[in-house]
Amino acid sequence: MINLQQVSKAFSQFQAIKSVTLTIHKGEIHGIIGASGAGKSTLLRLMNLLETPDEGEVEVNGERLTALNSKALRRTRKSIGMIFQHFNLVANKTVYDNVAVSLELANYPKGERRSRVVECLQFVGLENEMGKYPAQLSGGQKQRVAIARALANNPQVLLCDEPTSSLDPNTTAEILDVLGNINKRFGVTIVIVSHEMDVIKSICNRVTIMADGEIYDTVLIEPNGIQKIDNRPEYFIEQLVENGGLGYA
Ligand SMILES: Nc1ncnc2c1ncn2[C@@H]1O[C@H](COP(=O)(O)OP(=O)(O)OP(=O)(O)O)[C@@H](O)[C@H]1O
């Protein structure tokens, strides 16, 4: 579904991503974990070319994004939704309009927009909050609006950059539940960047461990198999192996 082939990205002299090759399979929930500064967000943003790679190829759903012109890239991006740690809602637009705007931008048929917005807000349980503004919502509700907005164009892939890092544990569980339902009901492939092992453990099928701009390893997660996490990836992998909760992917 997503193929990164020897992708590299530098910011000035700093090599943030170093020739990374990674495949995300269709229908999986794939975690990316690692210490702060390891390159997780940059890797995620390379998957929809929010960051342009200096070298290498990015392919999503059979289309080589790195070979597309900007018009074709805009079209293809409709099939890739994204949510963020700080929600990125438009403050002076209502819940309804925050979702509707993504349909407008994608030229979704005008006559079908209203029912699609309502459908997406119902899916995330916010159909009664459509007239509110982001400032009137809790963090969890804001993230639900962002999820509804990302869902509106029927994406095949949902990229999630620390989607629960601003939320308390209960709200985190609710949002992970929503993401799990999206994966199950609509078959959406999900990639989640997180530094929280509990998040990865509760929802992901496979996890890629990053360190210093490189992939340290990609492992399978099995239910209740992983108990500990440490910022040092070598320690992390030892814990994974010791707990026996993984198979090599
Ligand atoms: N736009 C940018 N300009 C300059 N440096 C950047 C930029 N984006 C990222 N970096 C640097 O690249 C490195 C990787 O950043 P990235 O945000 O991908 O890491 P991360 O693993 O997601 O970290 P965190 O968990 O702290 O968000 C960091 O050292 C960061 O400072």
pLDDT of residue 27: 95
Model confidence band, residue 237 (pLDDT cutoffs 50, 70, 90):
low
CA distance 153 to 49: 18
CA distance 113 to 104: 8
pLDDT at 228 over 60: no
Strand order in the sheet with 63-64: 14-24, 2-11, 55-60, 63-64
Using DSSP, state whether 230 is helix, strand or coil. coil
What's the gap in Å between 57 CA and the centre of ligand 1? Answer: 20
pLDDT of residue 2: 96
Using DSSP, state whether 201 is helix, strand or coil. helix
Predicted confidence (pLDDT) per residue in 11-34, tens digit: 999 999 999 999 999 999 999 998
pLDDT at 241 over 60: no
What's the gap in Å between 130 CA and the centre of ligand 1? Answer: 35
Model confidence band, residue 223 (pLDDT cutoffs 50, 70, 90):
low
Please name the residue whose Cα sits nearest to atom 9 of ligand 1. Answer: 42
What's the gap in Å between 31 CA and the centre of ligand 1? Answer: 17
Please name the residue whose Cα sits nearest to atom 5 of ligand 1. Answer: 11
CA distance 16 to 11: 7
Please name the residue whose Cα sits nearest to atom 26 of ligand 1. Answer: 36
Please name the residue whose Cα sits nearest to atom 3 of ligand 1. Answer: 11
Here the ipTM equals: 0.96
For the chain, the average pLDDT equals: 89
CA distance 118 to 200: 30
CB 91 within 8 A of CB 135: yes
Which pair of structure tokens corresponds to residue 168?
């308390």
Please name the residue whose Cα sits nearest to atom 4 of ligand 1. Answer: 11
Predicted confidence (pLDDT) per residue in 31-77, tens digit: 999 888 899 999 999 999 999 999 999 999 999 999 999 999 988 99
Which residues of the chain are in CATH 3.40.50.300 domains? Answer: 2-79+156-242
What's the gap in Å between 213 CA and the centre of ligand 1? Answer: 9
What percentage of the chain reaches a pLDDT higher than 70? 89
36 lines ligand 1 (CB under 6 A): yes
195 lines ligand 1 (CB under 6 A): yes
Section 114-135 average pLDDT: 97
> Which residues is 208 bridged to in the sheet?
32, 218
pLDDT of residue 127: 95
The CATH fold of domain 2-79+156-242: Rossmann fold (3.40.50)
Which pair of structure tokens corresponds to residue 79?
């099939």
- For tokens 């967000």, what's the residue? 41
> Which atom of ligand 1 lies at the shortest distance from residue 45's CA?
18
Q: Classify residue 56 by burial, with Cβ atoms within 10 Å: 0-12, 13-18, 19+.
A: middle
Model confidence band, residue 240 (pLDDT cutoffs 50, 70, 90):
low
Using DSSP, state whether 215 is helix, strand or coil. strand
42 lines ligand 1 (CB under 6 A): yes
